[in-house]
Amino acid sequence: MKKILIKGGTILSGGEQREADILLEGGKIVAIATEIATEGCKIIDATGQYVSAGFIDLHTHGGGGADFMDGRVEDYATALATHAKHGTTLLYPTTLSSTTESLHEAVAAYKKAKQASPKGAQMGGLHLEGPYFAYEMKGAQDPRYLRNPEAEEYLTLLDEADGAIARWSLAPELEGAAQMATELRKRGIVMAMGHTNATFEECEKAYEAGFTHMTHFFSCMSTITRRNAYRYAGVVEYGYYNDGVTCELIGDGIHVPQSLLKLMFKVKGAERIALCTDSMRGAGMPDGVYMLGSLAEGQEVVVEDGVAKLMDRSAFAGSVATMDRVVRTVWRLTELPLAEIVRSATQTPARIMGIAEKKGSIEVGKDADIVIFDKDVTILHTIIGGEVFYQK
C-alpha cells in the first residue's frame, strides 16, 4: 500500500476548516502538517479543493439499480460502488418491513457480502427498518408486513445475526417494544424511534429505555395533535426538547424543505444531526419505475424529476439522493458554513454509531477514509482505507 500525500487542500473536520497537507499510510492518517516530505509518496494535488473525512450514510436501501434486500453479493457490490463514487466511504445497509423469512435472508446476505468484501463503501452493520412500526405512520413501508414485536421472532433473528445488526428502527409505543428495547440495549444495538405515532410522554419513556436516535426526522412521526380541545405534543416536539436525542435528516431538499432544515440546525445543531440519503435502488439512476425492497416481495414506485414516490403519489418512497447531493443541497438551503454541514455527514454519524475513535474526522491515527471535492461538492477523489477507489 503506497503512501499518499494530499497537498494544498482546505480540510473540513469537526465543524472547522484549515489549510494543511495530509499523509496517509497503512490505511491510516499518519501526519497532518503544513509541510510534509514528498519522497516515496503518491501525490494528490488538492489545491483550491476541500478535503474531508469520508461521508457516512446511516440509512440507505441501495443504489445503482440494486437493493440490499435483493440478497446477492453482486447487488451489494453495485450499491457500495455507486455510493463510493459519490463520496460515501461507510454505510449501513437498510432493510424494509417484510416477512420473517425475508429478514433472515437479509441477515444471511449481509454476512455473506461482508465476508466477500466487495470494493466500494465499507459496511458498518445492518440497519433494520421495521417491521415493528405504527400503521398510521407507515409511509412507504408495505402495510402487509407491519406488526408488533414478538420475542420469539426478534430473539431468533438477533442470535442468527451474531452482531451483524448495528441499529434497529421501531415504534416505541407498540406492545412489546419495551421488552425488545431491553434486549437490544444489552446487545449494544443503536435504537431509533421511527414510523411512530408516540406521544411526548411515550418518547420520554423510550429515551429512558435506550432510544437515543430518531429515524428520518419529520418523516412518518407524530407532532402536535388536539383531543377534546387539548393539545398533546408528539415525537417531533420531543426531538426538539431532548438534547440527548440525535436526529437523522434526509437531505435531498424534498423530504425536509428549506424552512425545516434551517429550524433543525438552529434547534439541534450539526453535532446532533446526521444527514442521510434513505436512498433506494434508483439512486444514481435515471427516472423510471423501480422496485422498492426486494425484487421478489417489494412494491413498485415511480421516480420522476429526481423524486421517488409510491405509484399513487400518496407518499415519498425513499429517495434517489447520494451523499454528495445531500451535503450540497443542505449547505445551499441552510446557508450555514460548509464545515458544519460536513460535520453532519461525517463526525456526527460516527459518534451516533460509536465509531468516532476511528472514523468521521481528519485526525492522526484515524482511518484513511477521505473525500476530496470542489466548491460545488462534486466528488473528485474517494479514498477508502488508504486506497484510491474513485478519481474523477
CATH fold label, 55-356: TIM Barrel (3.20.20)
- Amino acid 1: pLDDT: 63
Domain spanning 3-51+373-391, CATH class = mainly beta
The grid coordinates of residue 323 equal 451523499
For residue 118, count other CB atoms closer than 10 A to its CB.
17
Instruction: Name the 3-class secondary structure at 95.
Output: coil
* Residue in the structure block whose three cell numbers are 440495549: 185
pLDDT in tens, the chain (392 residues): 689 999 999 999 999 999 999 999 999 999 999 988 888 899 999 999 999 999 999 999 999 999 999 989 999 999 999 999 999 999 999 999 999 999 999 999 999 999 999 999 999 999 999 999 999 999 889 899 999 999 999 999 999 999 999 999 999 999 999 999 999 999 999 999 999 999 999 999 999 999 999 999 999 999 999 889 999 999 999 999 999 999 999 999 999 999 999 999 999 999 999 999 999 999 999 999 999 888 888 889 999 988 899 999 988 888 999 999 999 999 999 999 999 999 999 999 999 999 999 999 999 999 999 999 999 999 999 999 999 999 99
- Amino acid 203: pLDDT: 98
Question: What does the pLDDT look like over 148-185, one tens digit per residue?
Answer: 999 999 999 999 999 999 999 999 999 999 999 999 99
- Amino acid 108: pLDDT: 96
In DSSP notation, 2-71 reads -EEEEES-EEEETTEEEE-EEEEETTEEEEEES----TTEEEEE-TTSEEEEPEEEEEE-EETTEEGGG-
- Amino acid 361: pLDDT: 98
Phi, psi of 170 (to 5 degrees): -155, 165
Check residue 77 and report its DSSP letter: H
- Amino acid 52: pLDDT: 98
Q: Do the beta carbons of residue 113 and residue 161 sit within 8 Å?
A: no
Amino acid identity at 190: V
Domain boundaries, the chain: 3-51+373-391, 55-356
- Amino acid 268: pLDDT: 98
Q: Do the beta carbons of residue 249 and residue 261 sit within 8 Å?
A: yes
The grid coordinates of residue 247 equal 436526529
Nearest to residue 295, comparing CAs of 43, 6, 69?
Answer: 69
